[in-house]
Protein backbone atom coordinates (compact mmCIF):
# COMPACT_ATOMS: atom_id res chain seq x y z
CA UNK A 1 0.00 0.00 0.00
CA UNK A 2 1.41 3.40 -0.92
CA UNK A 3 0.67 6.69 0.79
CA UNK A 4 -1.12 9.44 -1.11
CA UNK A 5 1.26 12.08 -2.42
CA UNK A 6 0.44 15.67 -1.57
CA UNK A 7 2.52 17.49 -4.20
CA UNK A 8 3.01 21.25 -4.01
CA UNK A 9 4.48 23.54 -6.68
CA UNK A 10 6.29 26.72 -5.60
CA UNK A 11 6.55 29.44 -8.26
CA UNK A 12 6.60 33.19 -8.57
CA UNK A 13 7.52 36.22 -10.55
CA UNK A 14 7.00 39.89 -11.08
CA UNK A 15 3.40 41.10 -11.00
CA UNK A 16 1.94 43.91 -13.13
CA UNK A 17 0.37 45.35 -9.98
CA UNK A 18 1.16 44.15 -6.44
CA UNK A 19 -2.56 44.21 -5.57
CA UNK A 20 -3.44 41.67 -8.30
CA UNK A 21 -2.17 38.18 -9.15
CA UNK A 22 -1.31 38.95 -12.79
CA UNK A 23 2.24 38.21 -13.91
CA UNK A 24 4.11 40.84 -15.92
CA UNK A 25 5.55 38.10 -18.15
CA UNK A 26 4.48 34.45 -18.03
CA UNK A 27 7.75 33.58 -19.78
CA UNK A 28 9.68 34.91 -16.77
CA UNK A 29 7.85 32.92 -14.07
CA UNK A 30 10.39 31.37 -11.71
CA UNK A 31 9.59 27.72 -11.02
CA UNK A 32 11.20 27.03 -7.65
CA UNK A 33 10.24 23.37 -7.66
CA UNK A 34 7.85 20.57 -6.77
CA UNK A 35 7.72 19.46 -3.14
CA UNK A 36 6.32 16.29 -1.53
CA UNK A 37 4.56 18.06 1.35
CA UNK A 38 3.34 21.46 2.46
CA UNK A 39 6.09 21.96 5.06
CA UNK A 40 8.92 21.69 2.53
CA UNK A 41 6.98 23.80 0.00
CA UNK A 42 6.38 26.48 2.63
CA UNK A 43 10.08 26.51 3.51
CA UNK A 44 11.02 27.03 -0.16
CA UNK A 45 8.30 29.67 -0.59
CA UNK A 46 9.49 31.56 2.49
CA UNK A 47 13.11 31.55 1.30
CA UNK A 48 12.15 33.01 -2.10
CA UNK A 49 9.76 35.54 -0.56
CA UNK A 50 12.48 36.73 1.82
CA UNK A 51 15.06 36.83 -0.97
CA UNK A 52 12.84 39.16 -3.03
CA UNK A 53 11.31 41.17 -0.16
CA UNK A 54 12.73 44.47 -1.47
CA UNK A 55 10.71 44.21 -4.70
CA UNK A 56 7.01 44.80 -3.96
CA UNK A 57 6.08 43.46 -7.41
CA UNK A 58 7.67 40.05 -6.81
CA UNK A 59 5.32 37.41 -5.43
CA UNK A 60 5.66 33.69 -4.81
CA UNK A 61 2.85 31.15 -4.54
CA UNK A 62 2.27 27.58 -3.42
CA UNK A 63 0.00 25.56 -5.72
CA UNK A 64 -1.62 22.48 -4.20
CA UNK A 65 -1.05 20.12 -7.13
CA UNK A 66 -2.78 17.23 -5.36
CA UNK A 67 -6.04 19.22 -5.53
CA UNK A 68 -5.99 19.41 -9.33
CA UNK A 69 -8.13 17.06 -11.37
CA UNK A 70 -7.01 14.75 -14.12
CA UNK A 71 -8.13 16.43 -17.36
CA UNK A 72 -9.20 13.07 -18.78
CA UNK A 73 -11.80 12.68 -16.03
CA UNK A 74 -15.18 14.20 -16.65
CA UNK A 75 -15.78 17.45 -14.79
CA UNK A 76 -19.05 19.17 -14.08
CA UNK A 77 -19.65 22.53 -15.80
CA UNK A 78 -19.21 24.21 -12.40
CA UNK A 79 -15.77 22.64 -11.94
CA UNK A 80 -14.73 23.72 -15.43
CA UNK A 81 -15.66 27.31 -14.58
CA UNK A 82 -13.67 27.17 -11.36
CA UNK A 83 -16.77 27.35 -9.17
Residue 58 CA to residue 32 CA, distance in Å, equals 14
Q: In the prediction, which pLDDT does 83 show?
A: 47
Give the residue-averaged pLDDT of 50-61. Answer: 95
Read off the pTM.
Answer: 0.76
Confidence band for 2, pLDDT divided at 50, 70 and 90 = low
**Domains by residue range for the chain, with CATH:** 8-80 (3.30.70.2400)
Query: 71-82, pLDDT tens digit by residue?
Result: 666 655 545 545
Amino acid sequence: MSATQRLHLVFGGELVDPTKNVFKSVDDIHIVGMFPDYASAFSAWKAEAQRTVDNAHMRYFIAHIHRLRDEEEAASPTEELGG
